[in-house]
Amino acid sequence: MFSSSLLIRSALKTKTISRNFHVSNQRYEIQKLTRLRVVDNSEIGKQAMAEGRPPRCIHVYNKTGVGKIGDKVLVAIRGEKKKGILVGLKQNQKTKVPKFDSNNLVLIDDNGTPLGTRIHVPIPTILRTILKEKTFSKGADYTKLLGIASKFV
The CATH number for 74's domain is 2.40.150.20
At residue 39, the pLDDT reads: 92
At residue 49, the pLDDT reads: 87
At residue 89, the pLDDT reads: 82
Domain contains 47: yes
DSSP 8-state class, residue 84: E
Domain contains 103: yes
* Residue 2 Cα to chain centre, angstroms: 59
Q: Which domain holds residue 57?
A: 26-147
Q: Distance (Å, rounded) from C-alpha 139 to C-alpha 136?
A: 6
Domain contains 19: no
At residue 24, the pLDDT reads: 43
Domain contains 126: yes
Residue ranges for the chain with pLDDT beneath 50: 16-18, 21-26
The 3-state DSSP class for residue 67 equals: strand
Domain contains 4: no
Number of domains in the chain: 1
Residue 96 region by backbone torsions, left for phi larger than 0, else alpha for psi between -120 and 50, else beta: left
**Model-level pTM greater than 0.95?**
no
Domain contains 142: yes
Sign of CA dihedral 32, 36, 41, 44: positive
Of residues 62, 88, 76, the one with CA closest to residue 149: 88
Domain contains 113: yes
Which contiguous run of DSSP H or E holds residue 20? none
At residue 3, the pLDDT reads: 56
Domain contains 87: yes
